[in-house]
Chains A and B, each alone.
Chain A
Amino acid sequence: MADHSYDPIMLLDAYRRMRAIREFEERMRREVQAGTVPGFVHLYCGQEAVAVGTCMHLLDSDYIGSTHRGHGHCIAKGCDIGDMLLEIYCKQGGLCNGKGGSMHIADLRKGMLGANAIVGASPPIAVGAALTQSTLQTGGVTVTFIGDGASNQGTVAESLNMASILKLPLIFLYENNGYAEFTGISYHLGGGNIARRAGGFGMPAETVDGVDFFAVYEAVGRAVVRARAGEGPSAVEAVAMRWYGHFEGDMQTYRDPQEVNRLRAGSDPLVKFEERAVREFGIGADELREIDDEIAELIEDKVVLAKAAPIPPREALHTDVYGSY
């Protein structure tokens, strides 16, 4: 085991972020089912430890590139939950003024370069962010989240190669959640091993249990140290099955219903975190329950506000196509 000391304040912060993601996504699920949310929503439940274990290492000046399943990344990176909800409801004052929606939430002030509805499109953009960091020598690091489905896109291979030859401060954070839309990884992944593929580009690449916050945190920690030292990119493959469908409303006929029950019962990242945090690091279960209550109240309040918020004015259709034209 890595030699890590865990500060209780950091651990409570990590738990708060994971709980916020869980609560947020469970609420979104109910809202989508009730028909209140426009467009497609892709839920992150089951993968909370990946986003949080990663982003706990990052500052606002560090960047992340996200995916269509981006809510968890946003929350982990510190985006305002109320402004995220306004965006998901396509309301005025949302993080993208209501014109991006769930699949395009971005918040550059927080170093969040955007959820992205094109699978595999984020890594080249993240290469650019890392290029900025390297050119301006900011000491910053960029993380690009990549699903197991996206791992088969050519853009990912191009980005791995470019980051490798230019020694960019970039971390390829693969989230292996078992499915590329409706297709399982045992079918879609040639060679059968994502990390080994990334390692072929000449960078450290390891596979960790993505349900285990501590495992993710420690692996990403190694990659961040390497990136900030100017030693180049790394890859981490975090394995954590998603609990819900590709999008909310997906009937998941490709999946044994027992699979999800087993995950919820035996592979809950929050439960796993709590067991160890209480046992080894002196965190009180009562402290965590307090956080649970706080978060539940926060999400409830913010959902109510988002639903009641005004929609963007009709003129917004024509604004912000260009800076000037």
Chain B
Amino acid sequence: MPMKSFREAINDTLKQEMRRDPRVIVMGEDVVGGMGGSSGVAEAAGGTFGVTAGLAAEFGRRRVIDTPITESAIVGAAGGAALTGLRPVAELMFIDFIGVCLDQILNQQAKFRYMFGGKCTVPVTIRTLMGAGLGAGPQHSQSLHGILTSIPGIKVVLPSNAADAKGLLATAIRDDDPVIFCEHKFLYHETCEVPDGEYLIPFGEANVTRTGAHVTVVAFSRMVMLANKVADKLAKEGISVEVIDPRTTSPLDRDSILESIEKTGRLVVVDEGTPLCGMASEIASLAACEALSALRAPVQKVTPPHTPIPATPHLEQDWLPSLDKIERAIRATLDQKLARTG
């Protein structure tokens, strides 16, 4: 299998799906780039991170549409186009920008099918960039999948590696519901073996990236990579860590998580979203509600603090979950016991 970066995998998949289905269009800010510029370069960007490079050359500007900086119109038009027969892939350059277009997701796309009595499909995919670590500050660094996961009617996808990105993006584009596809900016250069040809990864099916017996670590997006590294390190000490990557937060593969907790009796959740009402709390709640008798130690949550993300690089590193914090949480859960009465 060829080694490919996360970014290449997404680019390949967009091309694959656009070749397969003429109703798939791509729209967003600078997805081609250079319109109206003085250089005359036909494709000046291919996306701010180059993810949509080459699409306009192959599919033309009728299907690869540069928009103004106009997030409500981008996301809203994608929803309207989805209602009327296209399968748009809209790019929201940074997930932080959801602040200016949330209505079109929260009140429109998420609710169309339900409030229209099931008489429509809304096959829209919103690709967006998440994650901290670039010193980009409070408005270009957030991980807002938790907020989105709480909205009924949309699906939320967080691929953690290039191979999953390909299979999950193809599924997203072919899905008849609105999907928010969250790409972590620190994963774009990460490579792994990516199968050639078409394949689909179903939503709601977790991937067990390390099997283990002593502790379950549930991690999302880039945190899966960190959790895997910690698991590999601790394996050398004989600590057997099971790492679960749910891959989608809505729908969520509760069964795989619960099965693992039943096996290990210990749970660490690692998420880059803030701690209140986020995925870490959600998974901890799942364990408390449905696997309490299996738990042999309190659940450990590894999340950023309840603060905005500072631009200050060393403070930002303190803000982020890290290898060290994950390792400490795993050791803590192994050292602790739940007091049982009766």
> Measuring CB to CB, which residues of chain A are less than 8 angstroms from any residue of chain B?
63, 65, 94-100, 104, 106, 108, 113-114, 116-118, 121, 123-133, 135-136, 154-155, 158-159, 161-162, 165-166, 319-325
Contacts and interface: CB of A to CB of B under 8 A. Distances in A.
A323 B113 contact: yes
Contact of B84 (A63, A100, A123, A166): A63
Given A123-B76, A135-B63, A323-B113, 18 more contacts: A65-B80, A95-B119, A108-B120, A113-B83, A118-B107, A121-B76, A124-B72, A124-B80, A125-B79, A127-B80, A129-B83, A131-B25, A131-B81, A136-B85, A319-B118, A321-B152, A323-B175, A324-B175
Given A158-B73, A325-B204, A125 B80 contact: yes
Interface string B169-198: 000000111000000000000000000000
B86 interface: yes
State the main secondary structure of chain B at its contact with A: mixed
B82 A128 contact: yes
Given A132-B86, A135-B63, A325-B251, A121 B104 contact: yes
Q: Which 3 A-B pairs have the closest CB atoms?
A: A128-B80, A124-B76, A97-B117
A129 B88 CA distance: 12
Nearest to A322: B177
Nearest to B27: A131
A77 B225 CA distance: 54
Contacts of B339: none
Contacts of A124: 72-73, 75-77, 79-80, 104
Given A321-B152, A321-B153, A121 B107 contact: yes
A135 B85 CA distance: 10
Contact of B72 (A96, A133, A155): A155
Interface string B43-66: 000000000000000000011010
B86 A104 contact: no
Contact of A128 (B63, B88, B153, B155): B88
Contact of A131 (B86, B104, B119): B86
Given A161-B70, A321-B153, A128 B83 contact: yes
- On chain B, which size bracket covers the interface? 35 or more
Contact of A320 (B65, B81, B118): B118
B108 interface: yes
Contacts of B204: 325
Contact of B70 (A113, A133, A158): A158
B65 A166 contact: yes
Contacts of A114: 112, 115-116
Given A124-B72, A124-B73, A127-B73, A96 B83 contact: no
B74 to A, nearest CB: 8
A106 to B, nearest CB: 4
Contacts of B118: 97, 319-320
Interface string B76-99: 111111111110100000000000
B80 A126 contact: yes
Given A127-B73, A135-B86, A96 B115 contact: yes
A162 B67 contact: yes
